[in-house]
Amino acid sequence: MSGTLPRYLAVRKATTDLAAPLTPEDQVVQAMPDASPTKWHLAHTTWFFETFVLIPNLTGYRAFDPSYGFLFNSYYNAIGQRQPRHQRGLLTRPGLKDVMAYRQHVDTAMESLLQDVQHPLGALVELGLHHEQQHQELILTDIKYLLGTQPLRPAYLAAAQATGSPLPAPQQQWIAFEEGLRSIGQGGKGFAFDNEGPPHKVFLNAFELASRTVTSGEYLEFINDGGYSKPELWLSDGWDAVRAHGWNAPLYWRRSETGWKVFTLQGEQDLAPTKAVCHLSHFEADAYARWAGGRLPTEFEWEAASGQEGLSEMLGGVWEWTASAYLPYPGFRIAEGAVGEYNGKFMSGQMVLRGGSVATPPGHVRPTYRNFFPPAARWQFSGLRLAR
């Protein structure tokens, strides 16, 4: 187990490094029910290791504070009651200083445990590290949403000084794929979440996939053509969302006297038409695809195409919405115990995204990774790639 310790310490440090640019006030506010405070993320990822690794396996370990089990449990019903998700921003106590002491307490105990090679906990610790990396991404998406609600539109990080003119987007090409059986899912070596398997075969009809993601400039054409005012382009629930929320552009876009502005982690900037359009709901991505004469790919088409020559940005640009509902693969089984609640119980009312984004930790950017969100979600770094 000693080889796991350097990785554990690196992942934990990466989380605190993400929080470092923030003020204590930044870290306690919850701007909407789906976006948790940074302080809560710091505590919850620590609670995961304490609850699932230390308490059952480290002799003599004592919980830092028994009340933290209620405050920082996310959705594990088998563990017990918890603070309601939409009220995480009400937790002014414990303070940030106490949460950081909690992290240090658990890290010290984990170092002791991981130096003992007699504990065969590699898979469980690895799950905890990937879980924490998921929350690293959420720290960025959630704090961006919070800062984007502020009147001063403060930057999370200072913007890098631009050098030269932005490169034009490569011309979109259509890459053709023949019909046939394809292998889907993760079944080899390396970490994978349970929802990435079991590996199985799917038959795909012939299809074509765009060589790159849709750009902000292309999406602006959809806006200028009245895309948000044409009900025939929208799924029924999507049209209801447009009217209920007053959507007329992607999240973080603002029309100013000098043109469109976009809020980023580096503060508000002029719209960059050659960059991938980002922060779209599934409804918006689907409506744009219909307007453009295409469609969204299924998650199986997307995975089968990944790595194909001529396709760019499939891993790590923006999360790409697919046309696939988030459902179990054939033969999927929920793991025993509370950790079985990790993915399986969310397989209803969600749509799959593939590929990763600029906020995704490198180890999570792989062809089989299945991200999932409700179709109206817009605060993630989500865009689209056309299929036909």
pLDDT band at 119 (very low <50, low <70, confident <90, very high): low
What pLDDT does residue 243 have? Answer: 98
Tracing tokens 């405070």 back to the chain, one arrives at 37
Which tokens hold the place of 22?
A: 């923030």
What pLDDT does residue 29 have? Answer: 97
Adjacency order of strands within the sheet including 319-325: 371-373, 351-354, 319-325, 382-383
Tell me the average pLDDT across 174-186. Answer: 96
Distance CA 194, CA 334 (A): 8
Give me the half-sphere count of Cα atoms (radius 13 Å) on the Cβ side of residue 269.
Answer: 14
Residue 72 has pLDDT above 90, yes or no: yes
Which DSSP letter does residue 50 get? I
What pLDDT does residue 257 have? Answer: 94
Report how far apart, in Å, the C-alpha atoms of 294 and of each of 169, 251, 301, 325 are: 19, 23, 14, 19
Give the number of other Cβ atoms within 10 Å of residue 260's Cβ: 16
What pLDDT does residue 345 have? Answer: 86
Adjacency order of strands within the sheet including 267-270: 253-256, 259-264, 267-270
Backbone torsions φ then ψ of 45, nearest 5 degrees: -65, -30
Q: Between the CA atoms of 274, 280, 283 and 289, what dihedral angle is there, to the nearest 10 degrees? A: 10
What pLDDT does residue 131 have? Answer: 96
pLDDT in tens, 264-316: 999 999 999 999 999 999 999 999 999 999 999 999 999 999 978 778 678 87
pLDDT in tens, 189-243: 789 999 999 999 999 999 999 999 999 999 999 999 999 999 999 999 999 999 9
Give the number of other Cβ atoms within 10 Å of residue 112's Cβ: 13
Beta 371-373 vs 207-210: how paired, if at all?
unpaired
What pLDDT does residue 160 have? Answer: 65
What pLDDT does residue 118 have? Answer: 62
pLDDT band at 338 (very low <50, low <70, confident <90, very high): low
What pLDDT does residue 92 have? Answer: 97
Which DSSP letter does residue 387 get? B
Residue type, 101: A
Q: Could you give the 3-state DSSP secondary structure of residue 177?
A: strand
Residue type, 208: E
Distance CA 309, CA 287 (A): 28
User: Which CATH number applies to 174-383: 3.90.1580.10, 3.40.190.10, 3.40.50.970, 3.40.50.300?
Assistant: 3.90.1580.10
Distance CA 314, CA 295 (A): 17
pLDDT > 90 in the chain, percent = 83
Provide CB contacts within 8 A for 332, sequence distance 6+. 194, 195, 197, 198, 344
What pLDDT does residue 336 have? Answer: 77
Distance CA 334, CA 342 (A): 9
Distance CA 332, CA 300 (A): 16
Distance CA 202, CA 64 (A): 48
